[in-house]
Amino acid sequence: MAKKNEPKVNLVEVLKEVMDAKNMDDTIIEGALKQALISAARKYLHLEKKIEVEIDKETNEIHVYLRVDVVDDYPDYDPEMTAEEVEKMDEGYMLVPEAQEYNEDAQPGDFLEIEVPTTTFGRQAIQTAKQLLTQQIRDAERQKITDTYRDRVGSMISGEVLRLEGRNVIVSLGKQTEAMIPHKEQISHERLVQGQSVKAVIARVEESAKNGAQVILSRASGDFLKELFRQEVPEIYEGSVEIKGVARDPGFRAKIAVYSRDEKIDPVGACVGMKGARVQTIVRELGNERIDIVHWNPDQDVFITRALAPANIVKLTDVPGTNRTVVVINDENLAQAIGKNGQNVKLAATLVGRDLDVFGENEWSAKNEEEKAQVLKPREQELQRFARNKAESLFAGAKADADQEPEA
């Protein structure tokens, strides 16, 4: 019981202050409030017995009860019951001597119901209840965020910039949910300000014991570019044009490969739009990021040639047993093909999924046969990486097939 000289504190009022500070829906915190009151009542009574909480939603009154069956001995248990199940069962029973401490007339077979006065709970019990309620609400918040956003990873979302925390941007998604755009997920040179509307894709949901669940957004990922095209190009949204791949240097340049099985549809033209209207809308959203729209082709050489356009490809040679392709380009277009700081060739390589080893036509012609053979010779690291990637791809494919097989 509480100490006689300890000042009385209204536990319910204290816990309501915690709930008001969290500003959450009653439906979410009702279970947490009940658990906190049960914990405080048990600490106050110094026993682990059945405690029930009743909340009158019309009057907002809360009552806490000790409710047990009085017995002269605990009943036999099913030997297959777990320790937790036995403990839970014991909570509903109280031996006669202990029950008579609350009601001197208690006898075996009686049902004992005692209302626990929450206004007399000690400070230690109240502090324990506050901590438990805070933890329960944090867990509820984490679970709600996880359930709401985990299945939406990769999809577009809109919000409003709430504040800046260092180099990170905190965004309100509505319904008391905040998300973060880390610095590395922002577009280069972009400066988002408080109150600004912002689009991004849900990159992931991170969980930690300290901060709970955190929705991470991205404006720098390939998925963001994909979703922008999906919004602006009806043919992509409807599925008649397919995005085959994306490569980005956020804020500077991007390449996107598109394809249509319908020969009547020009996938590049559909993405560009009348007078470039569709792609220009996306370019503005990305802070004038240059976008190359590439017509995808299942023929690797054709795809590489298109990805490096407007370069004039003289020769393409795959290095056997590796993921590398040697590309010889007309010298007039060499600088364009490589791009500033090698940007264009890096993006093209990412888009086609190959390591592109680029040479100018004159440079390649100046090599003797032995030097060319040396360039085209597989490197040990390349062979190992190629073999590892192939094995991983085969394993992933076999696993996917196994997952799709119906159970016998």
Say which residue, 3 or 166, is predicted with more confidence: 166
Q: Residue 7 above 60 pLDDT?
A: no
Please identify which residue in the block is written with the tokens 């509505």: 174
Is 402 inside any structural domain?
no
Say which residue, 169 or 146, is predicted with more confidence: 169
Is 25 inside any structural domain?
yes
pTM recorded for the entire structure: 0.70
What's the confidence (pLDDT) of residue 1?
Answer: 41
Domain final position from 146, 168, 201: 146
Q: Are residues 175 and 164 in the same domain?
A: yes
What's the confidence (pLDDT) of residue 373?
Answer: 92
Q: Residue 301 above 70 pLDDT?
A: yes
Average pLDDT score over residue span 50-70: 84
What is the pLDDT confidence band of residue 234, given thresholds at 50, 70 and 90?
A: very high
Is 28 inside any structural domain?
yes
Q: Residue 6 above 60 pLDDT?
A: no
pLDDT one-digit tens code per residue, 147-161: 788 889 999 999 999
Is 343 inside any structural domain?
yes
Q: Are residues 196 and 128 in the same domain?
A: no
What is the pLDDT confidence band of residue 14, given thresholds at 50, 70 and 90?
A: low
Is 6 inside any structural domain?
no
What's the confidence (pLDDT) of residue 367?
Answer: 92
What's the confidence (pLDDT) of residue 245?
Answer: 96
Q: Are residues 170 and 135 in the same domain?
A: no
DSSP per-residue letters across 280-318: HHHHHHTTS-EEEEEE--SSHHHHHHHHTTTS-EEEEEE
Percent of the chain with pLDDT over 90: 52
The rounded distance, in Å, linking the Cα atoms of 56 and 50 is 20
Please identify which residue in the block is written with the tokens 């390589």: 349
What's the confidence (pLDDT) of residue 224?
Answer: 96
Pairing of strands 355-360, 324-329: parallel
Question: What phi and psi, each to the nearest 5 degrees, are found at residue 256?
Answer: -135, 130
Q: Which candidate, 36, 33, 32, places its Cα nearest to that of 127?
A: 36
What's the confidence (pLDDT) of residue 157?
Answer: 93
Count how many domains the chain has: 4
Q: Residue 380 above 60 pLDDT?
A: yes
Domain final position from 296, 313, 345: 296
Is 352 inside any structural domain?
yes
Q: Are residues 52 and 138 in the same domain?
A: yes
Pairing of strands 61-71, 156-165: unpaired
The rounded distance, in Å, linking the Cα atoms of 126 and 300 is 69
Which sign, positive or negative, has the C-alpha torsion 333, 334, 339, 344?
A: positive
Alpha carbon distances (Å) from 346 to 78, 337, 358:
68, 10, 11
Domain housing 167: 153-218
Lowest-pLDDT range, 84-88, 389-393, 399-403?
399-403
Is 401 inside any structural domain?
no
Average pLDDT score over residue span 263-282: 94
DSSP bridge partners of 247: 255
DSSP bridge partners of 11: none
What's the confidence (pLDDT) of residue 402?
Answer: 63
Reduced to 3 states (helix: H, G, I; strand: E, B; else coil), residue 370 is helix
Is 405 inside any structural domain?
no
Domain final position from 218, 233, 250: 218
Average pLDDT score over residue span 291-315: 94
CA 175 to chain centre: 18
Tokens (6 digits) for 49: 């017995």
What is the pLDDT confidence band of residue 140, given thresholds at 50, 70 and 90?
A: confident
Amino acid found at 362: N
Say which residue, 6 or 109, is predicted with more confidence: 109
Q: Residue 362 above 70 pLDDT?
A: yes
Q: Are residues 53 and 99 in the same domain?
A: yes
Contact 300, 317 (CB under 8 A): no
Q: Please report, for the domain that includes residue 82, its CATH number.
A: 3.30.1480
Q: Residue 72 above 80 pLDDT?
A: yes
Q: Residue 9 above 50 pLDDT?
A: no
Q: Are residues 56 and 124 in the same domain?
A: yes
Q: Please report, for the domain that includes residue 159, its CATH number.
A: 2.40.50.140
